[in-house]
Structure formats: structure tokens, C-alpha cells
Structure 1
Amino acid sequence: MTRAERLDAIKEILENATAPVSGSYLAERFGVSRQAIVQDVALLRNQGLEIISTPAGYILERVKRLRKIIAVRHGKDEIFDELLAVVEAGGRVLDVMVDHPIYGEIKGTIGVGSQEDVTRFVSMLESSGQEPLLSLTRGFHLHTIEADSEETLKKIEDALRRQGFLFVG
């Protein structure tokens, strides 16, 4: 199989998937390394495909959605509540960013859009024993939030404001 054929096959798998497709699965399916799949996904993105990387795997974005970067602040023990507030209001949390005084912007993928995703993400974070990025900035961080409408984005901000997470300068 040529690389072009593999790219077409990956695209078809993602188009037909109803759940995230792991890079490990794709690597095994095509008999290539996980790194080769990462490079293939990068090429597909360069071709214009909206492929989202999540902790559970790759998802092909089928519908254009609105995105907004919001500033929040809370403790590490409130991550679940913050993420759940966003997804319950109809949004998706794509990533987390912090501005480190030495390293500059540090960004990590979150990719949660359901309560199940939030539970899985927080469980992975807790079981890893690693500190979340917000611990580098005394709780202050940014999220790229995705929603289907301006009204939903407003509902998300209102939910975060009610819980005291939305950062207001």
C-alpha cells in the first residue's frame, strides 16, 4: 500500500467512525509506526481535513462550529466541575493553554465534549500523577471552547461565571 492509499484509507475510516479512532489502532491496521500515523494525520490536516486529536483518538470534525478562547481560574480539585459545566452547557473543551514566565505559551489537548469524556480525562490526569498545566500559573489558564452557536457560547460563559471560574481581569 502506498502512502497516498493509506491516507485515503485513514480518511475513509475517520469519515465512517462514530467514536474516536486511536493512533495505535491505525498503526496496527496499516502495519506502520504510531509516528507514521501522526505524520499522516498532519498531511491530512494540511489537505484541509479538520481532524481533532483527543486523548481517546482522532475525530473528523464534520460540522463547522464556533470557537472562542476563554480565561478561567480555579484549583486543580475543580477541573472536573469546570469541564462538566462547559459540556453540560453544550460546548466542547478543545485545549488548555498557560502563559509560563520562562517558556511562554504551553498548550495541551483536552478534547472533551461529553460527561463521559470529562470523566475519562480527569481519571487519566489523576492516575498519571502529573500536575495539570494550571498548577504552573496559580490556577489561571485559557481554554479554546467550541460550540454550535453564539447562544451556546454565552450559556457556557454564564455557567462558568456562576461557578466562579470565569476570569474577569
Structure 2
Amino acid sequence: MDKQLSAPLLIEPLGPPTKISTRKTFTHLSTFVEHLPPSPQRTQLERLADALGVEVGAIAPSEGEAREKKREAERAAARLERRRTREAARAAEAAAAEDLREADKDALEAAIEGEAAAEDEDAEEEEGLGGNLGEGPIMDDRGDVEYGDVPEDDQDEPDNEHAEMEED
């Protein structure tokens, strides 16, 4: 950042500068402004042209003020239109979010109802009422163990409750 950067455009004068009058400046500027797209720069140049026009007498002071009021009204209308567009977009976004919440709520309710139906089917299968209705042999629940049916002496596993712990 110690070195100065060179200008991207080098303008070399072709001859000695010529002085143009305020009237010619107003004429050139007015012609130039007509071809610019709407932008803040155009508005600034229009204001400059209006001021020059009032100075040289090409535009009446009241007409310059009327043009400024017109520009202000156009800018306010554009602002209002942008605001309406933003509010419409927000309303559409809120409606979409509400629809999404409703869809999520419906899906959650359907999932809860589906779980309840699955629990009912499981309960019916445990009772032996459902499951194999006409789809082959019905299996008995012969291997079910009730509380208290387990023998207390189990030969395969050591009984840890009675064994003393070894100390290191």
C-alpha cells in the first residue's frame, strides 16, 4: 500500500481546453440525461440541468420546483410499490410456512394413528386373535413363561449371589 496505484483510464488532452457557456452546458447535459436509464445518477444530473436551466433562464424557477416535486412523487410511488411487493412476498412466505406446519401436523397425527393401529395389531397378535387369519397353521403360544415358573436352581449358570467375592 506504499505505492500509488495508477489510474485505470489515462486522459490526455488533444488540444487546449475550450470554455463553454452555461447555456451550452445546459443543452448538452439535458440531451445527455434523456438517454440515461432511471438511476440516482440520472436524478442528480437532472437536478444539475434544472439548476443550470434556471440560471440561464431556459427554465422558470417554478417549473424547476415542479420537476423536483414530480421526482419526489415518483420516488415515493416506487418506494410504496417496493414495500407492497415485500409485504406480498412476506404474506406468501407466511402462508407457505403455515401450510407446511399444517402438513407436518397432519403427518404427525397420521403417524400417531398409525402407531396406535400397530399397537392394536400387536395386542391382537399377543392375544392370538389376529395375524394368521386363514394364512396357514396358527401357532400356539406354548413357550410362554409366567412369573414364578422359572426354577430357582439353574445348573448352567453359576449363582453369583452366594459366591464370595475374591479380594485382591
Task: Looking at secondary structure, tell me which structure has more strand per residue.
Answer: 1
TM-score, normalised to structure 1, is 0.22
Task: Looking at secondary structure, tell me which structure has more helix per residue.
Answer: 2
Structure with the bigger RCO (C-alpha within 8 Å, sep 6+) is: 1
Bigger radius of gyration, 1 or 2? 2
